[in-house]
């Protein structure tokens, strides 16, 4: 009998769409005062080779570019180019926006990291066809997801990304 070891990367996401502008409220109060008009749940993504390399560099101490509150971003763009592990970032030519983490994110619990960013009324107003989790200093993206999530024309959209390793 052959023995082999496997690891499982599982990604899920939650997009909440609000009519209100997060800029008019404190982060914590926004969630308490405002209710989303649409919520989209999804799963799956493409783990990028550059993201895998960055994780190994972090594990081995060869990188100080942590995916923490100051260093992690979520980026969104309008490209519908199919995801491929050799890509290194969003594929959008011009319509792309990167946002830092909301207060208290990312979090790490029970084999899972959770990233969350909020895009206010004047940010990322175009069709959302792709997203990534990115390290701001190195510019390396962990993953990329391609899926039409709708066209943002105002209000606030919050994107939460849950990555589990098991």
What is the residue extent of each domain of the chain?
Answer: 9-165
**Range with the poorest average pLDDT among 24-33, 71-80, 103-112, 147-156:** 24-33
Helix (H, G, I), strand (E, B) or coil at 79: coil
Contacts of 4 (CB under 8 A, 6+ apart): none
Q: Which residue in the block uniquely carries the two structure tokens 């701001």?
A: 136
pLDDT band for position 28 (50/70/90)? low
pLDDT band for position 33 (50/70/90)? confident
Nearest to 124 by CA among 162, 81, 158: 158
Nearest to 160 by CA among 110, 119, 111: 119
pLDDT band for position 1 (50/70/90)? low
| Confidence (pLDDT) at 66 | 92
In percent, how much of the chain has pLDDT > 70?
96
Q: Is the pTM of this model over 0.75?
A: yes
In percent, how much of the chain has pLDDT > 90?
81
């Amino acid at each position: 009998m052959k023995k082999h070891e496997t690891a499982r990367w599982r990604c899920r996401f939650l997009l909440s769409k609000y009519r209100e502008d997060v800029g008019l409220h404190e982060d914590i109060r926004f969630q308490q005062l405002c209710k989303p008009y649409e919520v989209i749940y999804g799963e799956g993504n493409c783990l990028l080779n550059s993201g895998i390399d960055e994780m190994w560099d972090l594990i081995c101490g060869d990188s100080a570019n942590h995916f923490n509150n100051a260093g992690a971003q979520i980026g969104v763009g309008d490209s519908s180019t199919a995801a491929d592990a050799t890509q290194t970032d969003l594929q959008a030519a011009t319509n792309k926006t990167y946002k830092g983490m909301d207060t208290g994110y990312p979090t790490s619990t029970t084999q899972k990291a959770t990233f969350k960013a909020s895009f206010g009324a004047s940010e990322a107003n175009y069709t959302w066809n792709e997203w990534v989790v990115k390290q701001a200093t190195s510019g390396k993206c962990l993953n990329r997801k391609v899926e039409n999530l709708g066209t943002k024309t105002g209000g606030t959209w919050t994107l939460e990304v849950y990555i589990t390793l098991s």
